[in-house]
């Protein structure tokens, strides 16, 4: 019994982990121009800090990083359907979410996503 | 944010979850209602504050001094909530086992084991996720 529970939980955990930080395309980039990295965070959320550091290192003249406290701004969380932190959205110049990820994305994946939107 | 939330070394709850996993495996293997009751008591202490769990005391006294400082800190509130969820499941399992409801006790203990193992092995705290979701639902209504 215990072995069965552990086996099922292991499969669940592996699937969960493989999905962490995976960027998902939610729309085609409609507008070209400056991109916004919209990050939803929570206080004392470790992975949020990693996402912040990553976004700040990618920020520049045409990449803006905006961080929102998901709990303190429920309206915006609802608008973008954010249920977990850290959630990161890549918005095109028109403010449309193009990519979305929960967890810490890999730098190369995020760079590739940004290159496609700009 | 009105005040800074209390913070926790996240390796503490991971260690607590690992010990809990071992105890729950023994509970499932033996069907011991008394052991489930003891684990429920441990959860009850953890629900008062994650650092009050007896397992957390072992972490603080024996393991933490041998480790470096934590790379990150986490919020106490979701962990405390998760301990409460653990308390509900193991207490119900203890009552079921002691009342002769082996199947119900097993199902409840199995749920608790799955959650404890996911936390220990993958750092996925289901109770914490539930806490965040509940908070979001409350904010919506």
pLDDT by residue (tens digit) across B70-106? 877 888 888 999 999 999 999 999 999 999 999 999 9
Task: Pick the residue of A4, A6, A49 with the most B CBs within 10 A to test the interface with B by mutation.
Answer: A6
- With contacts defined as CB-CB under 8 Å, which chain A residues touch B113? 2, 5-6, 9
A44 and B75 within 8 Å at the Cβ level: the answer is yes
Query: What is the ipTM, given to two decimal places?
Result: 0.86
Contact call for residues B127 and B81 (beta carbons, < 8 A): yes
Contact call for residues B140 and A74 (beta carbons, < 8 A): yes
pLDDT given for residue A17 in this prediction: 92
Q: Where are the domains of chain B?
A: 8-140
pTM of the model: 0.85
The verdict on residue A8 lying in a domain is no
Contact call for residues B114 and B25 (beta carbons, < 8 A): no
**Could you report the per-residue pLDDT of A9-60, keeping only the tens digit for each?**
999 999 999 999 899 999 988 878 899 999 999 877 778 989 999 999 999 9
pLDDT given for residue B5 in this prediction: 56
CA A63 to chain centre: 15
- What is the count of structural domains for chain A? 1
The neighbour count for residue B134, using CB atoms within 10 Å, is: 12
CATH number, residue A88: 3.40.30.10
**Structural domain boundaries enclosing A29:** 21-117
Specify the long-range contacts of residues B134-138, CB closer than 8 Å, at least 24 apart: B135/A71, B136/A74, B136/A77, B136/A83
Q: Which residue has the higher pLDDT, B101 or B137?
A: B101
């Amino acid at each position: 019994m215990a072995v069965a529970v552990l086996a099922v939980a292991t499969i669940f955990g592996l699937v969960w982990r493989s999905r962490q930080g995976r960027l998902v395309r939610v729309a085609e980039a409609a507008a070209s121009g400056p991109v916004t990295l919209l990050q939803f965070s929570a206080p004392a959320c470790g992975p949020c800090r990693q996402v912040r550091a990553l976004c700040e290192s990618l920020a520049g003249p045409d990449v803006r990083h905006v961080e929102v406290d998901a709990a303190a701004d429920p309206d915006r969380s609802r608008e973008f359907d954010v249920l977990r932190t850290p959630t990161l959205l890549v918005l095109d110049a028109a403010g449309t979410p193009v990519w979305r990820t929960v967890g810490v994305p890999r730098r190369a994946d995020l760079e590739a996503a940004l290159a496609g939107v700009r | 944010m009105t005040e800074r939330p209390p913070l926790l070394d996240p390796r503490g709850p991971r260690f607590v979850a690992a010990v809990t996993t071992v105890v729950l495996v023994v509970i499932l293997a033996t069907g011991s209602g008394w052991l489930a009751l003891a684990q429920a008591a441990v959860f009850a202490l953890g629900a008062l504050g994650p650092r009050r769990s007896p397992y957390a005391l072992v972490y603080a006294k024996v393991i933490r001094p041998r480790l470096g400082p934590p790379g990150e800190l986490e919020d106490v509130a979701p962990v405390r909530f998760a301990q409460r969820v653990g308390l509900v499941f193991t207490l119900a399992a203890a009552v079921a086992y002691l009342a002769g409801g082996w199947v119900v006790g097993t199902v409840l203990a199995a749920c608790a084991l799955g959650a404890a193992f996911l936390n220990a092995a993958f750092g996925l705290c289901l109770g914490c996720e539930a806490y965040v979701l509940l908070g979001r639902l409350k904010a919506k209504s």
